[in-house]
Amino acid sequence: MTGELGCRTKRRAWNLPKPFHLAKKEFNFPVIIFASFSFNICAINYMRQIKIIYVFKKVILPIIFIVNSFQSVGQTSRTFFDSAVSKDNGRDTSEALKYYNKVIALDSTMWQAYYNRGRLKNNCKDYSGAIIDFTKAAELNPKYQDAYYNRGNAKRELGDLHGAVSDYSKAIEIFPTDAAFYINRGIVKNNLKEFADAVGDFNKAITLDSTIATAYHNRGNARFGLKQYSLAIPDYNKAIEINPNDARFFYARGLSKDALKNHRGAVDDYNLAIELNPSYGHCYDSRGFARLQAGDKKGGCSDLSKACQLGVTSACNSVKMMCK
């Protein structure tokens, strides 16, 4: 009964409050004290309920909405990503790029989307765009070695050789057991004429994987650059043993034989290279000079003319000077 009286009093007092001095005339003092006390408790409870409702509306509901939104975005971005990968694997580059763009628009923290988009841009020769994407992928995942490796490839295509070496070195620092990283860094060092360092990279690559023909071929090129022609030839031999269908290997071995004044041996290698690639202009050019050196002016001039037809400008000049 007391509880019921208190609640009724609280509701009446809350809805129709009376001045304390009027209440004092209507009730005796203990009842006033009790009613006042009950009123305060119900008021406090009521305020608590309102506060809870307010907090729920203003704080809890927005949080629930945000969480659901993130889940929805995550599910959508993942769906687009899966579609992009499917198109990517199907070599539908245009559609794959569209899906990767959608993924990134929805979730700018998905490093895989930046990396894959960068790889496709690299394949499309959009090297500047690829560098931007690989850089973002590396920022989001600094320990992913392929982001640096492929950014190095893009920089190499744009002529930023020192930048390429830096990226290959970073990839090697993270993952030091991939032969391709050393091979590509060695190739760039060859281009920079840092032949001794390049040999070191190719040695490491061959230690990691002795079945890669290009490692031997490019080590031979580095040794050729160091004028170590006798050491270069065994490297070209090994490259040919692994892959006898690459005209470049025979051409490179022919150049080394030429440098050792074995012109007839050089001609034999140039012949093999031209059989594999009949449009190999520089090979005709080199064979022309080798034939001239061997005393075959007619054959030499014929090769120089062919090289000129295939767009080797220096061969055109040689024909004018040597084949009158």
* Domain ranges across the chain: 1-90, 109-176, 177-244, 248-324
Q: Radius of gyration (Cα) for the chain, nearest Å?
A: 40
Instruction: Say whether 177-244 and 109-176 share the same fold.
Output: yes
pLDDT > 90? residue 56: no
Please give the CATH number for the structural domain made up of 177-244. 1.25.40.10
Domain 109-176 class, CATH top level: mainly alpha
Identify which of 167, 83, 80 has the alpha carbon closest to the alpha carbon of residue 122: 167
pLDDT recorded at residue 77 = 80
Q: For residue 323, give every residue at least 6 positions away whose Cβ sits within 8 Å of its Cβ, in sequence order, or none.
A: 297, 300, 301, 304, 305
pLDDT recorded at residue 87 = 84
For 303-324, the pLDDT digits (tens) are 999 999 999 999 999 999 999 7
Does the pTM surpass 0.95? The reply is no
User: What average pLDDT does the segment 37-59 reach?
Assistant: 51
pLDDT band for position 16 (50/70/90)? very low
Domain 248-324 class, CATH top level: mainly alpha
User: What average pLDDT does the segment 255-275 reach?
Assistant: 96
pLDDT recorded at residue 122 = 95
User: What average pLDDT does the segment 165-190 reach?
Assistant: 98
pLDDT recorded at residue 90 = 86
For 67-97, the pLDDT digits (tens) are 444 444 445 888 888 888 888 888 889 999 9
